[in-house]
Structure 1
Amino acid sequence: MRIGKIQPIDIDVEMRSAYLDYAMSVIVARALPDARDGLKPVHRRILYAMHDMGIRPGTPYKKSARIVGEVLGKYHPHGDAAVYDSMVRLAQDFSMRYLLIDGQGNFGSIDGDSPAAMRYTEARLARISDLMLGDIDKDTVDWGPNFDDSLEEPIVLPAQLPNLLLNGSSGIAVGMATNIPPHNLRELADGIAYLIDHWDHLDEVTVEDLMELISGPDFPTGGLIMGAEGIRSAYATGKGRIIMRGVASIEDTKGGRFRIIVTEIPFQLNKTTLLERIAQLVRDERLDQISDLRDESDREGMRIVIELKRSASPRKVLNQLYKLTPLQSTFGVNLLALVEGEPRLLSLRRALQIYVEHRQEVLTRRTRFELRKAEERAHILEGLRIALEFLDEVIALIRASKSVDEARTGLMTRFNLSEVQAQAILDMQLRRLAALERAKIEAEYQELAARISFLRDLLDHPEKILQIIKTDLLELKEKFGDGRRTQILPDGSGIEDEDVIPQEHVLVTLTQDNFVKRTLARVYRAQGRGGRGVVGMNTRDEDQVVQALSARTLDYVLFFTNKGRIYSERAFNLPDASRTGKGLPIVNFISLPPDERVTAMVAVPDFEHATYVTMATVGGRIKRVQLSEFNAVRPIGIIAMPLEEGDELGWARVTSGEQELILVTERGQALRFDENEVRAMGRTASGVWGIRLAAGDRVTSLDVVEPGADLLVVTPRGFGKRSSLDEYAAKGRYTGGVVTLAQSRLDKDGRIVSSRVVQEDEEVAFFSAGGIALRLRVKDIPRHGRASSGVRLVQLKKDDTVAVMVRLGPAPAVEPAIPTVEPSPLASPLEETASAPA
């Protein structure tokens, strides 16, 4: 190329070339470890520089700044922060499973504290690092020029330790990343020994075989691994997801309270980050059972104390911590390393094989080096032996020579010696002529002869080198090995919803404007008959409660709409709101069209113990469907019951197939009949007639008959009664039924708005259109005859009406005291719960 001449360059070609050069530089020279010694270039240069400086185990510590300067000046022309940070990591017991550098001073902490400046800290090689650098002076590895061609540096270390898997590695290159977990030395030694024993049949060694000896990663911070499935995937393919979990125990304290003690956390988790996350969740009231959080860690070890409230379930809170905080984390294994200068994804067997092959090469080269040195020394000793055998003649020849060259030539000619042998004779000291020294020369020669024979035999039989590798590893296992720190739990130990969500009795309410919420049932206090109730929902926007359901937090809630569709959602996924809270629009949880509204809700603990769902419409049609039809409801809902023009689906109940049903109409008619009179149908069937309605009448409820139960009915103005179900004789389907409330009461207080089958030891709750809620014991409601008029159940304001009645189930055995002060609608949820117990 001539200077001054402009050459056109294709920008696309130039960009590709430049970017690939940069990418390969990052991949090979920075981010990825070599599969043979498990080190990145910066770590290798740090260890070699310290070895070269003589900063070895047992020697005095040297300032870190001096070491960093040596590395920068000779081998690693990058920033001092990059070198010091890498050096610091090699000395952190929470980052490295087996420390390669013995640090003195502040090298950071698991709390995320930064290390002290390099001018304050000191370091030297750890004892185990000698195994990484041992025999490096015996021509065991290749060398290459440093950045300015002024020095030579090792391309790879001899690495008697299987460091790639022993300490692991992590790094982000261009377009790829590596994340290799650390392992236990004892397990790796046993695994490699097994691989060597089956070296001739490597293809037959399976992941299961190796996992019998190498059970999984062993993190320096301990912790738990949840199941072996992710480990098995990582060992088989090089990629896998390992779920890590901290170690925590539950302790009881005085006063019947509990606390959770965390003693180990997942690998690479900052303890301060964990504490901040827990505190934030407590402030956000997502962890509302924690009363105090403190860090009591000291020199003895980690100790995070989480104090719980008196009513808290410690196991549930612990599972919530696992699910909501980094106390349970995922380690994404990506076993990527450089093989012959190229990035390769490795399986466990391949990674161990590369290590063994590297050690084979190292030991072979060391054997050749030692053989060459031994043969050179033996050659000299052979000359000395000849000189001692002809000592007088040798002395005379030397004394007669005029110069050293003449003497050397004379010895070579007379005794057929090489120049090296002749020179050794000339350099021999007079003390070596003593009898004892002559014996030492002979003994040394015999030892060398045996050594040469041994080394030649090694080179002739490579399988013996494999046995040396095995022996060395087993010795390392005994010298540096320790027990596992990380426990591996069986598969299937993960967290399910049932492990995290406390099983509590809640009320699910739905308003006319489709706002849904769940509230703990205990916040609605039980009152006497005729009470005024408490504020159940802030209805300043003239919204009204139209549906309410008693359920448990782990139940499935099935939503049935007026158009015959069904939607499903878990109760705990519905918004948890205070008693006066309005909740959230239901469209946040189910895909409800604008022209559709929920008319019935059913709580299902599971889909195995209940057999059927029976549905009824306001027009008197009824349908029975197997519950399993609704086991997997799509988010957009499915058809539960096709409807005729003008009809609406109004009610749904779970039945067993051997029960009786009772339909109640607005005008006070009740029909009891066997559910088997309604055959089970598919989802697309439209049902059959259930009750014969008079003109202008509508169905107001559907319920299941229970032995010894009563039928409780209520009118819009709060009047009602309960009457024994024995008074309702079973009749055939599609008949008119019998009277259940005096017609005079219907004319005065309006038609029946709701009815439920109840037991005497239970409670019910009434919700008014104005947002008032009243919880009432069934036993406080007088039992009257079927055709009687009833009594006042709820004291309502003049313009308010009962909207819905909910069956709560059995009342608590001991009823808490009822406060005399009415809680303010603006009180906080905690204040409401405290001032208005169940």
Structure 2
Amino acid sequence: MSDPAREEDDNIIDTRLSDALSERYLSYALSTIMSRSLPDVRDGLKPVHRRLLFAMRQLKLDPKNGYKKCARVVGDVIGKYHPHGDSAVYETLVRLAQDFAVRYPLVDGQGNFGNIDGDNAAAMRYTESRMTAVAVALMDGLDEDAVDFRQTYDGEDEEPVVLPARFPNLLANGSAGIAVGMATSIPPHNVGELCDALAYMIKHPGASVDKLVDFIPGPDFPTGGILVESRDSVIDAYKTGKGGFRLRARWQCEDLGRGVYQIVITEIPYQVQKSRLIEKIAEMMTARKLPFVDDIRDESAEDIRLVIEPKSRAVDPEMLMEQLFKLTDLETRFSLNMNVLDAARTPSVMDLRQVLQAFLDHRMDVLERRSRHRLEKIDHRLEILGGMLIAFLNLDEVIHIIRTEDEPKAVMIRQFALSDIQAEAILNMRLRQLRKLEEIEIRTEHDALNLEKSGLLALLDDEPLRWKTIGKEIAAIKAEFGAATALGKRRTDIGAPPSAVVVPLEALIEREPITVVCSQKGWVRAIKGHLDDGAVKDLRFKDGDKGRFAVHAQTTDKILVFATNGRFYTLGGDKLPGGRGNGEPLRLMIDLGNEHDVTAILTHDPERRLVVASDSGRGFVVAEKDVIAQTKNGKQVLNLAPGEEAVACAVLDAGADHLAVIGTNRKMLIFPLSELPLMGRGKGVILQRYKKGGGATLNDIKGFSMETGLSWPFGSGWRTETDLRSWLSKRAQSGVMAPRGFPTSNRFS
């Protein structure tokens, strides 16, 4: 008797966990890439789309026939071909029926299939569907051995590996999907333009992408809009198979009389929900980020009509729209990544020419397979007709054999040299087929089939003739779905790219006075109005924290932050948190590490100059317009040696001609500003020299005019000293002790 424990041990395979995970994850990745996310370059479909259309064809849901419940269609798909959830299949069916989501819908839906506002479709038990003419064109020739079939997941039926695709669906309807480690994003295009490009490629096999763009100037989105991408960018995207296209809403200005106008938006960018767009604009109006806009309302019925009212008739409509394009989804960017499965089921990124050529190659393969299939059918029928003609020539004898012989089939085969198929066809003839007229019809059919056979043989033997036939098919597709039809008219206009200089940021922000307050621990906030010193002192902070910086600014200003790492950071006055509460940590707004701290905060003035200095006593003059940072990472201005820190940043007023420097040793030095270099970045020169090993460092700096004197805090006010000869010297000296009454903090402010 066998030992169950021993048998169980024999089924255990020792393997490393990493190897097991790698093997299984690879299988999952391949399944996602091949069977879920990437479309086939030949028919432009993923398996779920292909199975859905095939199931509808099996249900005979042609455009000329009636509708069937979507629940019936979904049930057939998941029961026979696609073993996944019904909701996923139904969502696919719904999208293929939405004319605002698919450029050339493949499903004709009856009932509630959702809308551009983002509302969901009704349940599948309420809606009905059937195929469109485009879907029929995709499956033209499916019964003629045009493509390979494979077994379904349960082995009980067969499904096509790819559709014959008389319609160039991949580029016409586009595709989008995210696989493991790769993704695809293909915008829809105009099929009439695609047909023109395909016809040109048949005549000029070596056509370049530049030439093809003459026929295909860019995508054609279901929701229209205006493409504002330069031709060079479009060509570059199509050449590489990667890129993007900027799409803007279509708008017009309606004159209401007496100089009053309103903006009416009639088309919005592709895949933008109208309701969400309105909500976003309303939120920005509440946040005062759209100072030009007074109101927005939705007057849409079947067509889109969004009305935007300006705050004043003096507002330029172009500037108002540039503001909306910049800040809202009225301008979007649709990415291009033509990552598809080729005929060998290998994922690759193709350019425009490769995608079109792959479609033509597929049509050539389909044409050859359909022609061979038709030849087989003709040969079979000719064989039957040949037997029938022999029967008519020997009709009396055939009748005699049938009436007298026990095995008439064998006798006829031997007597008239017939094949088994011919003898069976003669035995299956009806009596009424023995009339003279039937013989004439058989001879006519026989001659016609021989003529058709000769044509097919000539077609298979002549490649140029096959390409000519494919060209006629493409011309027929253009006639059926091209620009001459309501469905085929181009919806997205090709516009000029916007100018590089658009609305200045300040024009998009409502100008209001604010006081920027930053605490000792780095919490920053913007309080409305310009607070005086008393109000600043009365501000409350978190427990254990206190005030450090308070700067008067406007919401339209840029706020400069100089840190101990020698970097300048830039913040927008309108982006700072409001004055209620304690604000937000400054480190969350800029990339400032915990090992560094803020040295100075000031309002940006591009006409001013600054002096920056490190604790080692080195520094230089920099133009304030050169310190603006474009990213959260800031802009390095003062280069520091290991162990050094930036400790001072002083504003130089227009009349400043001297610089005062004071160290931690309370020694002060004054020298002409002309001795400092103007730099954009660097370590600078020595401002004040300190005794080696003495531990003294630079503490503060201040630019001033020798004529007006040097001021510093004294008591509750300020003290100004004009006799500064004792401290006046050359740059890089050690200086002399500060005057009596100078602050113990060793700072000028």
Code of the aligned partner of 2:333: T
Is 1:344 the counterpart of 2:348? The answer is yes
Q: What is the CA distance between 1:400 and its match in structure 2?
A: 5.5
- Residue 90 in structure 1 maps to residue 96 in structure 2: yes
Aligned residue in 2 for 1:285: 288
Q: Which position in structure 2 is the counterpart of 1:170?
A: 176
Q: Secondary structure at the match of 1:378?
A: helix
In structure 2, the partner of 1:711 is none
**How much does 1:405 deviate?**
6.6
Q: Equivalent residue for 2:337? A: 334
Separation (CA, whole Å) in 2 of partners of 1:326 and 1:59: 41
Work out whether residues 111 and 270 of structure 1, in 8 Å CA contact, stay in contact via their aligned partners in 2: yes
Displacement of 1:51 in angstroms is: 1.1
Aligned-pair CA distance for 1:309: 2.3
Provide the C-alpha distance between the structure 1 equivalents of 2:702 and 2:506, rounded to a whole number of angstroms: 38
Question: How do 1:14-413 residues align onto structure 2 when only pairs under 5 Å count?
Answer: 14-199=20-205, 201=206, 205-228=207-230, 231-253=234-256, 258-299=261-302, 301-310=303-312, 314-339=317-342, 340-388=344-392, 391=393, 393-399=394-400, 402-403=403-404, 407-409=408-410, 411-413=412-414
**AA aligned opposite 1:635:** G
Cα distance, 1:100 vs. partner? Answer: 0.8
Q: Given the superposition, is the C-alpha separation of residues 131 and 401 from structure 1 closer, same or farther in structure 2, using an over 3 Å criterion?
A: closer
Q: CA deviation at 1:272?
A: 2.0
Q: Which amino acid aligns with 1:80?
A: D
- 8 Å Cα contact 2:289/2:510 also seen in 1: no
Q: Tell me if the contact between 1:537 and 1:582 (Cα under 8 Å) persists in the aligned partners.
A: no
**Contact 2:43–2:168, Cα closer than 8 Å, also in 1:** yes
In structure 2, the CA distance between the partners of 1:537 and 1:448, relative to structure 1 (3 Å rule), is farther
Note the C-alpha offset of 1:145.
1.7
Alpha-carbon deviation of 1:502? Answer: 3.7
* Cα deviation, residue 567, structure 1: 5.0
Q: Secondary structure at 1:221's aligned position in 2?
A: coil
Partner of 1:822: none
How many residues get paired? Answer: 659
For 1:572-583, what aligned pairs fall within 5 Å after superposition? 575=576
- 1:57 touches 1:125 (CA, 8 Å); kept in 2? yes
Q: CA deviation at 1:602?
A: 6.4
Instruction: List alignment gaps of at least 5 residues for structure 2.
Output: 483-487, 541-545, 614-619, 640-646, 661-671, 688-700, 710-716, 722-749
| 1:286 partner amino acid | K
Q: Is contact 1:134–1:158 with CA below 8 Å preserved after alignment?
A: yes
Structure 1 residue 635 corresponds to structure 2 residue 634: yes
On the 8 A contact 1:323/1:495 being kept in 2, the answer is no
The residue type paired with residue 452 of structure 1 is: K
Render the CA deviation track for 1:531-590: whole Å, top value 9, x for unaligned.
Answer: xx999976634999999899994x8788999x9x99574876675989x99999999679
Normalising by structure 2, what TM-score?
0.72
Once residues 348 and 149 of structure 1 are traced to their aligned partners in structure 2, the CA distance between those partners, rounded to angstroms, is 38
Alignment correspondent of 1:441: 442
Matched residue type, 1:29 = S
- Measured after TM superposition, the shift of residue 274 of structure 1 is 1.7
CA contact (8 A) 1:558 1:566 kept: no
Q: Is the 8 A contact 2:142 2:164 kept in 1?
A: yes
- How far off is 1:96 after superposition? 1.0
Partner of 2:652: 652
CA distance in 2, matches of 1:513, 1:406: 111
What do residues 613-671 of structure 1 show as CA deviations (whole Å, max 9, x unaligned)?
69899xxxxx998888668899356359xxxxxx99865367xxxxx999999xxxxxx
Does the CA-based 8 Å contact 2:610-2:624 persist in structure 1? no
- Cα 1:368/1:616, change in 2 over 3 Å: closer
Residue segments in structure 1 that go unaligned for 5+ positions in a row: 525-532, 605-609, 618-622, 641-646, 655-659, 666-674, 688-698, 704-735, 740-748, 754-838
Alpha-carbon distance in structure 2 between the residues aligned to 1:168 and 1:343? 16
Does structure 2 retain, via aligned residues, the 8 Å contact 1:37–1:159? yes
* Aligned equivalents of 1:15, 1:661: Cα separation in 2: 70
- Residues 323, 503 of structure 2: 8 Å contact kept: no
| More displaced 10-residue stretch of structure 1: 363-372 or 45-54 | 45-54
Letter of the structure 2 residue corresponding to residue 652 of structure 1: L
Kept in 1, the 8 Å contact 2:610–2:650? The answer is no
The residue identity in structure 2 corresponding to 1:106 is N
The alpha carbon displacement at 1:35 in A equals 2.4
Structure 2 counterpart of 1:744: none
Distance 1:3 1:33 in 2: 52
In the alignment, the residues of structure 2 paired with residue 424 and residue 253 of structure 1 have an alpha-carbon distance, to the nearest angstrom, of 82
Distance in 2, matches of 1:315 and 1:519, equals 33
How far apart are the structure 1 equivalents of 2:421 and 2:220? 55
Go from structure 1 to structure 2 and tell me whether the alpha carbon gap of 1:368 and 1:751 turns closer, same or farther (over 3 Å shift). same
SS of equivalent residue, structure 2 residue 356: helix
Which amino acid letter does the alignment assign opposite residue 359 of structure 1?
Answer: R
Matched, 1:540 2:554: no
- State the alpha-carbon separation in 2 of the partners of residues 170 and 245 from structure 1: 20
One of 589, 602, 605 as aligned partner of 1:603: 605
- C-alpha contact 1:700 1:752 (8 A) present in aligned 2: no
Distance 1:411-1:494 versus aligned 2 partners, 3 A rule? farther
> Quick one: distance in 2 between partners of 1:51 and 1:426?
36
Amino acid at match of 1:333: L
* CA distance, structure 2, for counterparts of residue 75 and residue 66 of structure 1: 14
User: Structure 1 residue 56: deviation in Å?
Assistant: 0.8
Distance 1:568 1:221 in 2: 41
Equivalent residue letter for 1:23: A
Matches of 1:43 and 1:76, distance apart in 2: 10
Structure 1 residues 333 and 405: alpha-carbon distance in aligned structure 2, compared to 1, 3 A threshold: farther
Shift of 1:451: 0.8
1:152-171 Cα offsets, whole Å, 9 max, x none, are 22222111112122212223
Cα distance in 1, alignment partners of residues 257 and 427 from structure 2: 90
Task: Report the counterpart of residue 477 of structure 1 in structure 2.
Answer: 478
Inter-partner Cα distance in structure 2 for 1:433 and 1:146: 46
Q: Deviation digits for residues 489-514 of structure 1, max 9, x if unmatched?
A: 44455785627844887778778989
Greater shift in the superposed pair: 34-43 or 375-384? 375-384
Which residue identity does 2:634 align to in structure 1?
P
Specify whether residues 447 and 288 from structure 1 end up closer, same or farther in structure 2 by C-alpha distance, changes over 3 A only: same
TM-score in terms of structure 1 length:
0.65
Deviates more, 1:536-545 or 1:334-343: 536-545
1:51 to 1:403, Cα distance in 2 relative to 1, 3 A: farther
Q: Cα distance 1:638–1:343, how it changes in 2: closer, same or farther (>3 A)?
A: closer
The 2-side partners of 1:9 and 1:469 are apart by 56
**Which residue number in structure 2 is paired with residue 450 of structure 1?**
451
1:394 offset after TM fit, Å?
A: 3.4
Is 1:10 paired with 2:9? Answer: no
Q: Per-residue deviation at 1:261?
A: 2.5
Separation (CA, whole Å) in 2 of partners of 1:497 and 1:175:
39
CA shift at 1:99, angstroms?
Answer: 0.9
Deviation at 1:370, TM superposition (A): 0.6
Post-superposition offset of 1:117? 1.4
The aligned amino acid for 1:305 is: V
Write the distance in 1 (CA, Å) between the matches of 2:547 and 2:215: 66
1:498 matches 2:500: no
Q: Report the equivalent of 1:817.
A: none
Deviations 1:171-223 (CA, angstroms, capped at 9, x unpaired): 33344333322221112212222232233x4xxx4332322222222221122
CA gap 1:469/1:596 in 2 versus in 1, 3 angstroms: closer
Q: Which amino acid aligns with 1:218?
A: D
Please name the residue that 2:664 is paired with.
none
